[in-house]
Amino acid sequence: MLLLLLGIIVLHVTVLVLLFVSTIVSQWLVNGEHTADLWQNCTSGTIFHCLASSNNGECSLEIRAVAARCFYSL
């Protein structure tokens, strides 16, 4: 029983570490002059310009998915 409990704890800690590492990575998509990640989309041409990934103050679907994963992994 103790071994099962330790296995579950190790599994949860591993999931949390992977989740945090995946959200900390700064750039998920790099395409020439355009970079995008979970929090903002940037364009680096003659002028470096970043836009938030959210629309009208609401969280984007990606951010909501990460928040839900954080909540359910606990």
Query: What pTM did the predictor assign?
Result: 0.41
Residue 27 has pLDDT above 80, yes or no: no
| Residues whose CB is less than 8 angstroms from the CB of residue 25 and which lie 6 or more positions away in sequence, other chains included | 37
* Residue 41 domain boundaries: 1-73
pLDDT of amino acid 2: 93
* 49 confidence band (pLDDT: 50, 70, 90): confident
Residue spans of alpha helices (H) in 1-74: 2-24, 61-73
How many structural domains are present in the chain?
1
Looking at residue 1, its pLDDT comes to 92
| Long-range own/partner contacts, residues 18-23 (CB < 8 A, 24 or more apart) | 19/66, 19/69, 19/70, 19/73, 23/66
